[in-house]
């Protein structure tokens, strides 16, 4: 795999993946929350899926084509948006 990316499955508008850092033993995922799009009281369950960028030739002769292939998923994580404290 040349590249691994994380996508959110059915995430609410305002939640996005900002950065993914992988090591042989761990993964760190930084999520971004947009306060303009997320309102207090929202309760969701967030699903994360990993995909990897693979390069492969269809017939073994033509130039390899990049494609994203599923690598797995992380457990669902429930979350709730709360109001910012003064």
Q: Which domain holds residue 75?
A: 3-80
Q: Phi/psi zone of residue 56: left (φ > 0), alpha (ψ -120 to 50 degrees), beta? A: beta
Residue 2: per-residue pLDDT: 53
- In this prediction the pTM is 0.59
**Number of domains comprising the chain:** 1
Average of per-residue pLDDT across 74-79: 78
pLDDT for 77 beyond 80: no
Q: Is residue 15 part of a domain?
A: yes
pLDDT for 13 equals 86
Cα separation of 86 and 80, whole Å? Answer: 18
Residue 53 resides in a domain: yes
Is residue 70 situated within a structural domain?
yes
Residue 86 included in any domain:
no
Write out pLDDT tens, residues 28-51.
878 888 888 888 888 888 777 777
Q: Note the pLDDT of residue 36.
A: 86
């Amino acid at each position: 795999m040349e590249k691994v990316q994380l996508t959110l499955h059915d995430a609410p508008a305002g939640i996005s993946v900002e950065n993914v850092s992988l090591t042989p033993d761990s993964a760190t995922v930084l999520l971004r929350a947009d306060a303009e799009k997320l309102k207090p009281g929202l309760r969701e369950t967030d699903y994360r899926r990993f995909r990897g960028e693979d390069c492969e030739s269809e017939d073994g002769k033509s130039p390899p084509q990049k494609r994203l292939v599923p690598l797995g998923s992380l457990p669902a994580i429930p979350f709730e948006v709360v109001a910012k404290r003064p």
